Chains A and B, each alone.
Chain A
Amino acid sequence: MEKSNISTENHEYSFIEKHSFFIFIALSTFIAAFVVVVSMIMYNGSGAAQLDLSRPGYVSVRSQAKTDSTDFQNYSSTGKIEKSDINEFKTLYDKQAQRVKVVDAFGGDPLSPEALNISAPTE
């Protein structure tokens, strides 16, 4: 019993043992920062950032994003093919094709100097 007490008193603590709590906090912070950097790189690199309407610049349009896809019916990939099945597909497909073609997406030229009112003044 006496012997063990003596050995505890003489024990010298290493740097890690002395600063274990500080090292734990520093290591946790480093790991958290590393994970954040990696996830930000993935977020920006994957194109997810461009689809994220929760970003501050998109407040005005956020509510207009379509969140439900109930108007887009799935076509079954299993089962026999009859004339009626082809017609069913054509109806579904034509409906969506019409929806796409109605919009002239990214058409026009809103970034032209004339549209932005930064063109050279005409004499």
Chain B
Amino acid sequence: MKINKKLLSVLLFVITFVGATSYLNVSAQDNPISNEQINRIYTNCTLTKNTLNQIHASDALLRVNMGQIYESMSNKLMTRFNNRVANNNFDNKSLKSVTDSYNSTLDTFRTDYKRYEEHLTAAINIDCKKQPVSFYDAISSARSDRGRVHNDIVKINQFIDQYQLAVGEFEKNYIDIAGGAKN
């Protein structure tokens, strides 16, 4: 019984220590800004908001213009070429596989951009003079979302390159088959 009590007290101590440490960590992550930064946010509030509004508008334009090209690459080029290859009874598996990955990444890009835009709008709507810490946190959140959107774009570009390579491979095979048929 005595051992059990000791064990219990040690266990309680460990739980309290771990709990307190994790709470302190979370608090530090929630509020990583100094008083100087808070003052800076307060002073530059209007300027920062204007900059955010400009980024919001220019990113929306980029999303619309680039989004059109990305979708057209899939709908007007990749899918049509894949269908034509399949209609002529050639193997289009590798081409189709890259197109599927491209489309899937395009879907992720759409979702990630939506989340980014929502978080940036939330940051813009926060009163930075009254809630500088929340404003800073909202910007940090939008910043990481924007990074995610950029990663999606990098992946999309990689798939564009991969499709180019797949077309090259197809061309090689086609020449081999066409050459073999002539001989």
Contacts and interface: CB of A to CB of B under 8 A. Distances in A.
A53 B77 contact: no
A106 B37 contact: no
Contact of B110 (A47, A72, A85): A47
Contacts of B153: 105-107
B90 to A, nearest CB: 7
A61 B66 contact: no
Contacts of B56: 57
Interface of A is mostly: loop
B88 A107 contact: no
Interface residue tally on B, bucketed by range: 35 or more
Interface of B is mostly: helix
A75 interface: yes
B179 to A, nearest CB: 11
Contact of A81 (B52, B65, B69, B174): B174
Interface residue tally on A, bucketed by range: 35 or more
A35 B64 CA distance: 27
A72 B174 CA distance: 26
B176 to A, nearest CB: 12
Contacts of B164: 93-94, 97
B100 interface: no
A5 interface: no
Contact of B58 (A61, A73, A118, A120): A61
B80 interface: yes
A119 B72 contact: no
Given A74-B76, A110-B55, A100 B66 contact: yes
Interface in A77-123: 77-81, 83, 85-86, 89-90, 92-94, 96-97, 99-101, 103, 105-107, 109-113, 115-121
Contacts of A77: 79-81, 83-84, 87
Nearest to A106: B150
B122 to A, nearest CB: 13
A117 B80 contact: no
Given A77-B84, A78-B84, A83-B175, A120 B37 contact: yes
B143 interface: yes
Contacts of B88: 80-81
A57 B49 CA distance: 12
B73 interface: yes
A4 interface: no
A80 B160 CA distance: 24
Q: When A and B form their complex, which 9 residue pairs have the shortest distance between CB atoms, in order from nearest? A: A111-B143, A77-B80, A61-B61, A106-B150, A77-B83, A75-B80, A81-B88, A47-B114, A72-B72
